[in-house]
Structures are given as C-alpha cells and as structure tokens.
Structure 1
Amino acid sequence: MAALEVLTGVVAVLALLVLRGFALARARGTIVCRVRDRRGGWKSGVARYVGGELHWIPFLGLGLRPRHAIARRGLTVSSRRMLGSGEGPAGYWTVVCSADRSAASATRPVMAGPLCLAMSEDALTGFLAWLESAPPSAHLDAA
C-alpha cells in the first residue's frame, strides 16, 4: 500500500512538471531558447522579454521565476551562425553575446562570461529586433 502511495506521488510530481513545461512553452511572449552551460552542453528553457531584460527559465525545475536575467543595456552580439549537425538542435541558430556587467540587474542572477543562446530562426529575428529597438541612450555607455 505504501509503495502505491509513493508511486502515485511520483506520477503526480512528474505530471506537474510536464504541465509546467507546457505552460511555460505556450505562455504568451515566450520563446523556446537554449543556453550553453559551462561544460558545452545546452540547457533547454524558455525566454521571455520583460522590459529591458530577457528572462530565461529552465524547463527542468519547480520554480517559475527566471534563473537568469540578461540585460539589453550593454548587450552586444559577437557572432551568429546556424548550428551544425550533432552540435545542437537541427534548424537552430546560435548567438554569442557579450554583456556589460555594470548594466546588470541587481535583483536577479546574471550570467557570467560570454553568453551562447540557441533558438529558431523566427526567435532569432525577434531577439535581434528586441536588441535593436533599445533606446538610443542604451548603447552610449557600452564599449
């Protein structure tokens, strides 16, 4: 009987995690986006534009708060290219960005070092448009 209760609990938690993933992926204003970790692998999640920041939330996890906040102010794209076969998801583009750490949000953790994002071509177009739509003063202190 106890094993059945434990199994029911595990199934319920897994169902909630799956529902959380669907809710994150289907939420308005979010894009499916992967972030390269320190070991060179990709972590799946969603990104959401909130004011002058891009909030990244991983698919695996319990929280709905962003794990990383990427400030648009001082963010520059170093390179972009389509991912090769075996390098990541097929049809995705990788964007390497560098950020000015002084423009970071004081309330959320900020990613250290160069930032590598992988996203679909449509999401990349939106990301680049979001970067370019920054107010003119946003890039005065970068560099």
Structure 2
Amino acid sequence: MSVAAIAVLLVLRAVLLARSRGTVLCSIRIGNRAWRSGVARYAGGELHWIPFFGLLLRPRHAIARRGLTVSTRRPLTGEEGPAGYWTVDCGGVSLAMSEDALTGFLAWVESAPPSAHLDAA
C-alpha cells in the first residue's frame, strides 16, 4: 500500500470517528503530557476515548464513572487550545471539550447512582 493510500485511510477513519453518533470531540492529557485529539463516547458507566490518529477503533482510554470526581474546570486559554473549549481535571487525567460537550459530561458524572461515589476519596 502506498503512503498516500494509508494517509487517506487514516483521514477517513478520523472523519468517521468524528461523525459517529454518540461521540464528541475531546482532547485528553494525562499528567503533564501534551494534549492528544480524539473523540469520546459514553458506554454504560465509562467514557471511552479514541484517538483520531491510529489504526484501531478500540478506545485507548476508558474512564470509569464510579468514583470519578471533577476537581477543576476552566476555559482553555488561547495558547492551550481552541477558543470556546473547556478543560476538566479528573485526578491525573484532563479532558478538553466544547462547552456543550462539557455540559453533557457533567450531567453524565452527576447522573451516577448514589453508590457510585462511595469510592471517591
């Protein structure tokens, strides 16, 4: 396969991920590493994050809702990321998403069954 064909397949994969039902554009940062772009989708009690660039459609990270607490949330500055995006810190993981996606994420976290927060420290 030529390099151009592989590039086209990777771009097509990214477009299909971004347009899939139930996904939102979401960047992830673990610790102090750089932001990585991808999509997030809710699957039961987990948020699955899939990178835009990669070969597999499987999630690279799964964040469980059980025991999840949002420590901070704030708008991203111009040098950190796109205008209008917000970041939420959940332990050692930070997520960056649009304000609409943030509203959905916070509703998902808050809609957990009462026993789900028993594990939170």
Question: Does the aligned pair in 1 maintain the 2:29–2:95 contact within 8 Å?
Answer: yes
Q: Extract unaligned runs of 5+ from structure 1.
A: 1-5, 99-113
Specify the code of the residue in structure 1 equivalent to 2:108: W
Specify the code of the residue in structure 1 equivalent to 2:111: S
Equivalences for 1:59-98 in 2 at 5 Å?
A: 59-98=52-91
Paired position in structure 2 for 1:137? 115
Q: CA deviation at 1:141?
A: 2.8
Equivalences for 1:28-67 in 2 at 5 Å?
A: 28-67=21-60
Q: TM-score, normalised by structure 1?
A: 0.81
Specify the code of the residue in structure 1 equivalent to 2:97: M
Q: Extract unaligned runs of 5+ from structure 2.
A: none
Please say which of residues 36-45 and 114-123 is displaced more in the overlay. Answer: 36-45
Structure with larger Rg: 1
SS in 2 for 1:66: coil
Q: List structure 1 runs of 4+ shifted beyond 3 angstroms.
A: 37-40
- 1:36-59 deviation per Cα after TM superposition (whole angstroms, max 9, x unaligned): 144442100000100000000000
Distance across 1 between alignment mates of 2:88 and 2:49:
15
SS in 2 for 1:142: coil
Please say which of residues 10-19 and 74-83 is displaced more in the overlay. Answer: 10-19
Question: Does the aligned pair in 2 maintain the 1:37–1:43 contact within 8 Å?
Answer: no
Distance across 1 between alignment mates of 2:71 and 2:32:
20
- 1:3-62 deviation per Cα after TM superposition (whole angstroms, max 9, x unaligned): xxx6xx211111111110011000000000001144442100000100000000000101
Q: TM-score, normalised by structure 2?
A: 0.95
Percentage of identical aligned residues: 72
Q: CA deviation at 1:77?
A: 0.3
Cα RMSD (Å): 1.2
SS in 2 for 1:11: helix
Distance across 2 between alignment mates of 1:129 and 1:38:
24
Question: Does the aligned pair in 2 maintain the 1:80–1:96 contact within 8 Å?
Answer: yes
